[in-house]
């Protein structure tokens, strides 16, 4: 056999279909109900086994009934605040059960289309850095699927060589490359929406267990956040000292003995006198459940969709939960104090404690602060809460009906909310107004991208106490050193490679999440500046990039230019040789050229069939050449006379026939040379 085939077109399209379905599942499994993920995986496993072992498929009627049942369940569960998730779950299941039926080429195309819609839906629910990879994968796989389906429709039993499979894959890549500029043009030039469907999603109470904070902190609950080392957010800004890295979230002013809550009774119009250095932050929240906007130290103003100030320098995300990634711009004053214009803070609210609360602690406070001024009392309380009296720990936290009492008088170890709660309660017992602030402390600075990486493990709670002499709120952090933030250990875990990988992830997220009207306007301004002075723009931008990313960028540009040059050269050579893919004139020219090599030249007024008939019975070459030429003409004229392009499977067949004819010519030449040599002897 001249060219052995290795891959069945049917097996290839089944494998690619499974790949499409797996990419679709990977893109959204974290955002949908785990029951649907398990059900989808089970159906996909059963369908794969049916394909591998040749089991009988389900009738199409059963598949249609199951599809209607899925739609009915989705309709029954329908609610506007979970619309995208429910839609995605339904599409996933319908895509899975479609694998259980006997499939035509159209069915394979439909599965590929559903997988693309699933990835798009996943982007609406939660866009993160991985979305770009899923988008690239599904676009290449779906393009490959369309080519395979075209081939499968013509001949389901056709087999491909590895070389032919590579050619099909390359053509799918070319189709994707041709579509990429149009997609990028639409993305960067289309008017940007101010909101997204992902921000319309809501989440029921208790979402703080997933990520971030709500307006309530139960003693012992912050551990669930601190135990998670996932990224909470990234903040683009100049590097700052670690002592000022307090990312303010929510102010908690009401304590019931077990939990701190926010009364939200202060005015959103409360004004503050700014006495710190101003800093601007571009903050990119990772996927999770958010309704609190975090910013450094004392947030003065936050720009973003549906930002609602609720007082005490606290800002919320439109008074609802957001499940996806989003970004906003924060302006803060770097200061450990916050001075309101009005000294009337409503002292009663910040002094309130449960009736007869912990008389044993009150006795300790009286003895500890006896004879001290209000300025000295916070320092004395912090010293009492320091080691060796109390130690920081995330293990074996006391969770009971009296957690604070157990922490102070028996357990004597805990994490930040225990230390902060103890200090705030003790300050209130001395008559000093106090409150808790929940947020994050610290972060790892990625100097390659000029931004902070703040993990969930950096969740922290600290104290603000009222200074009656200065008429301002002053920050105190009673948690012992090494607690509340594990940034030293976290930073040690980040090598230079991890920093670059995170930078890549951040730039991807920034492209899809942070790109809005402001970014679009800035891009157009940069484009105008580049057109005015290209060389100056290139070198000024290059000088701002750190050495590591600079090397990566140079390597990427060099490889891209080399690939582009190679592709252009190959295209030029193919054009000069007349091989321009599925072009009828080029294919016909190759055939006539080969026949001319063998001594047969077609007349101008002679058709291809007449030309081939004229060589029938020629003793010089026998019947093999006639059979090859006849089969070529028959296949060629199916498209030539119908005035339609040659499809990929027929083009492959024509190329194979031409290859056999070339080999026939080579064999003839070898035989001729051997005969000549023999005669000479």
Q: Indicate the pairing of strand 413-414 with strand 391-392.
A: parallel
Sign of the four-CA dihedral 632, 634, 638, 642:
positive
The whole-angstrom separation of Cα 510 and Cα 522 is 14
Task: Report the side by side order of strands in the sheet with 216-218.
Answer: 216-218, 259-261, 254-255
Question: Which range is least confidently modeled, 37-46, 382-391, 449-458, 567-576?
Answer: 567-576
Res 80: pLDDT: 60
Q: Which of 572, 586, 571 is nearest to 645 (CA)?
A: 586
474 vs 244, residue with greater confidence: 474
At residue 475, the pLDDT reads 94
Task: Please indicate whether residue 41 or residue 623 has the higher confidence score (pLDDT).
Answer: 41
Q: Which residue has the higher pLDDT, 150 or 372?
A: 372
The DSSP output letter for 8 is E
Instruction: Give 181-238 as a DSSP string.
Output: HHHHHHHHHSPPPS--GGGG----S-GGGTSS--SEEETT-HHHHHT--SEEEEEES-
What is the average per-residue pLDDT within 301-321? 79
Tell whether the model's pLDDT for residue 199 goes beyond 50: no
Number of neighbouring beta carbons within 10 Å of residue 542:
11
Nearest to 303 by CA among 89, 518, 454, 477: 518
pLDDT value, residue 369 = 92
Looking at 32-46, 507-521, 665-679, which range is the least confident one?
665-679
pLDDT for the residue numbered 200: 35
φ, ψ (nearest 5 deg) of residue 517: -65, -40
> What tokens were used for 357?
């609360």
Is the separation of the CB atoms in 290 and 317 below 8 Å? yes
pLDDT tens-place string over residues 142-192: 888 888 888 788 777 777 777 777 777 777 777 777 666 666 665 555 554
Quote the pLDDT of residue 559: 62
pTM: 0.58
Mean pLDDT of 378-392: 92
Distance (Å, whole) CA 591 – CA 20:
39
User: Which band of pLDDT confidence, cut at 50, 70 and 90, is reported for residue 647?
Assistant: low
Indicate whether 642 pLDDT > 70: no
Give, in order, the Cα–Cα distances in Å from 186 to each of 113, 135, 190, 344: 20, 15, 5, 54
Percentage of the chain beyond pLDDT 70 is: 70
d(CA 288, CA 199): 11
212 φψ region: left (φ > 0), alpha (ψ -120 to 50), beta (else) = left
Mean pLDDT: which of 60-69, 293-302, 485-494 is highest?
A: 293-302
Q: What is the pLDDT of residue 423?
A: 96
Q: Is the pLDDT of residue 307 over 90?
A: no
Tell me the per-residue pLDDT of 520-540, one tens digit each, with 9 for 90 and over: 555 566 666 666 666 655 555
Question: pLDDT grade, residue 456 (50/70/90)?
Answer: confident
3 state DSSP class of 245: coil
Task: Name the residue among 249, 202, 201, 203 with its Cα closest to residue 225.
Answer: 249
- Over range 71-76, report the average pLDDT: 84
Burial tier of 210 (Cβ tally within 10 Å: 0-12, 13-18, 19+): middle
Read off the tokens for 179. 């579509």
Return the sign of the alpha-carbon dihedral for residues 209, 214, 215, 217: positive
Q: Which residues contact 20 (CB under 8 A, 6 or more apart)?
A: 111, 112, 115, 138, 141, 142, 145
Q: With DSSP H G I counted as helix, E B as strand and the rest as coil, what are the percentages for the chain, rounded to 5?
A: 55, 15, 30
Q: Which residues lie below 8 Å from residue 521, measured CB to CB, with a gap of 6+?
A: none
Exposure b/e, 288-320, CB count within 10 A at least 16 = b = bbbbbbbbbbbbeebebbebebbbbbbbbbbeb
Lowest mean pLDDT among 265-274, 278-287, 583-592, 672-681: 672-681
H/E stretch holding 293 reads strand 292-293
Give the H/E segment covering residue 314: strand 314-317
DSSP letter for 99, please. G
Q: Contact 463/435 with Cβ under 8 angstroms? A: yes
Burial 245-258 (b: 16+ CB within 10 A, else e): bbbbbbbbbbbebb
Predicted local distance difference test score (pLDDT) of residue 202: 36
pLDDT score of 502: 79
**According to DSSP H, which parts of 615-647 are helical?**
622-640
Q: Euclidean distance between the first and final Cα of the chain, in Å?
A: 34
CA 135, CA 589: separation in Å to the nearest integer? 41
Separation of alpha carbons 17 and 475, rounded Å: 58
- Strands of the 246-252 sheet, one edge to the other: 272-273, 337-340, 472-476, 459-467, 434-441, 246-252, 295-296
Structure tokens at 136: 């690239």
The first and second tokens of residue 519, run together, are 């970014």
Q: Average per-residue pLDDT in the chain?
A: 76
Report how far residue 6's alpha carbon sits from residue 660's, in angstroms, rounded to the nearest whole number. Answer: 18
Q: 616 or 575: which carries more pLDDT confidence?
A: 616
Pairwise CA distance, residues 121 & 197, whole Å:
10
Range from 104-118, 309-323, 514-528 carrying the lowest mean pLDDT: 514-528
pLDDT single digits (tens) 12-67: 888 888 898 888 888 887 777 888 888 888 888 888 888 777 778 888 888 888 88
- Is the pLDDT at 486 greater than 50, yes or no? no
CA distance 322 to 304: 13
Rounded Cα gap, residues 590 and 464, in angstroms: 85
Instruction: Return the higher-pLDDT residue of 220 and 476.
Output: 476
Residue, of 308 and 567, whose pLDDT is higher: 308
Beta bridge partners of residue 462, listed in sequence order: 437
Give the confidence band of 670 by pLDDT, cuts at 50, 70, 90. low
- pLDDT of 60 reads 83
Query: What is the arithmetic mean of pLDDT over 77-97?
Result: 79
At 424, the pLDDT band (50, 70, 90 cuts) reads very high
Q: Average of pLDDT values for 221-232?
A: 73
Pairwise pLDDT comparison (515 vs 426), residue with the higher score: 426
pLDDT tens for 313-370 read 899 876 455 555 678 899 999 988 998 888 788 889 999 999 889 999 999 999 999 9
| Cα–Cα distance, 98 to 293 (Å, whole number) | 43
Q: How far apart are CA 264 and CA 252, in angstroms?
A: 9
């Amino acid at each position: 056999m001249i060219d052995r085939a290795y891959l069945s077109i049917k097996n290839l399209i089944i494998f690619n279909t499974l790949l499409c379905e797996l990419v679709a599942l990977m893109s959204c499994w974290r955002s949908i109900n785990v029951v649907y993920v398990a059900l989808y995986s089970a159906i996909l496993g059963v369908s794969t086994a049916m394909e591998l072992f040749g089991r009988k498929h389900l009738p199409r009627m059963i598949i249609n009934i199951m599809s209607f049942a899925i739609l009915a369940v989705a309709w029954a569960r329908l609610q506007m605040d979970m619309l995208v998730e429910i839609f995605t779950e339904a599409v996933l299941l319908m895509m899975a059960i479609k694998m259980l039926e006997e499939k035509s080429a159209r069915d394979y195309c439909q599965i590929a289309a559903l997988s693309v819609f699933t990835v798009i839906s996943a982007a609406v629910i939660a866009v993160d850095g991985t979305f770009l990879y899923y988008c690239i994968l599904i676009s290449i796989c779906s393009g490959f699927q369309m080519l395979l389906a075209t081939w499968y429709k013509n001949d389901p039993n056709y087999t491909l060589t590895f070389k032919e499979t590579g050619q099909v894959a390359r053509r799918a890549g070319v189709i994707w490359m041709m579509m990429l500029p149009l997609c990028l043009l639409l993305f960067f030039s289309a008017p940007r929406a101010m909101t997204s469907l992902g921000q319309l999603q809501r989440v029921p109470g208790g979402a703080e267990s997933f990520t971030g904070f709500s307006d309530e902190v139960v003693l012992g609950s912050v551990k669930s956040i601190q135990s998670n080392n996932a990224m909470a957010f990234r903040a683009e800004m100049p590097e700052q000292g670690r002592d000022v890295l307090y990312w303010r979230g929510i102010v908690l002013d009401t304590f019931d003995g077990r939990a701190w809550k926010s009364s939200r009774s202060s005015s959103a119009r409360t004004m503050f006198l700014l006495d710190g250095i101003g800093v601007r932050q571009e903050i990119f929240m990772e996927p999770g459940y958010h309704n609190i906007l975090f910013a450094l130290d004392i947030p003065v103003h936050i720009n973003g969709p549906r930002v609602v100030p609720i007082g005490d320098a606290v800002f919320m995300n439109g008074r609802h939960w957001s499940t996806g990634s989003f970004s906003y711009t924060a302006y803060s004053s770097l200061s450990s104090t916050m001075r309101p214009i009005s000294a009337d803070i409503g002292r009663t609210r910040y002094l309130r404690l449960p009736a007869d609360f912990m008389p044993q602690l009150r006795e300790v406070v009286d003895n500890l602060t006896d004879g001290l001024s209000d300025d000295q009392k916070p320092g004395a309380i912090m010293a009492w809460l320091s080691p060796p009296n109390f130690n920081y720990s995330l293990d074996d936290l006391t969770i009971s009906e009296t957690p604070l009492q157990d922490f102070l008088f028996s357990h004597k170890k805990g994490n930040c909310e225990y230390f902060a709660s103890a200090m705030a309660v003790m300050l209130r017992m001395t008559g000093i107004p106090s409150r808790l602030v929940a947020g994050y402390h610290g972060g790892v600075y990625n100097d390659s991208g000029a931004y902070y990486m703040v993990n969930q493990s950096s969740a922290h709670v600290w104290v603000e106490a009222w200074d009656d002499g200065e008429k301002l709120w002053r920050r105190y952090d009673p948690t012992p050193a090494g607690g509340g933030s594990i940034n030293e250990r976290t930073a040690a875990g980040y090598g230079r490679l991890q920093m670059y990988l995170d930078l890549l992830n951040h730039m991807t997220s920034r492209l899809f999440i942070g790109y809005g009207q402001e970014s679009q306007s800035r891009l157009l301004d940069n484009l105008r500046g580049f057109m005015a002075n290209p060389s100056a723009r290139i070198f000024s931008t290059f000088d701002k990039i750190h050495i590591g990313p600079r090397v990566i960028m140079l390597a990427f540009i060099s490889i891209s230019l080399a690939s582009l040059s190679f592709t252009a050269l190959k295209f030029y050579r193919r054009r000069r040789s007349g091989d321009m893919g599925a072009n009828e004139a080029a294919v016909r020219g190759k055939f006539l050229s080969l026949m001319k090599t063998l001594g047969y030249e077609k007349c101008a007024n002679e058709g291809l069939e007449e030309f081939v008939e004229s060589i029938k019975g020629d003793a010089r070459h026998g019947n093999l050449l006639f059979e090859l030429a006849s089969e070529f003409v028959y296949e060629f004229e199916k498209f030539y006379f119908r005035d339609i392009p040659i499809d990929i499977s027929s083009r492959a067949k024509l190329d194979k026939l031409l290859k056999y004819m070339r080999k026939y010519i080579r064999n003839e030449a070898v035989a001729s040379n051997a005969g000549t040599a023999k005669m000479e002897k």
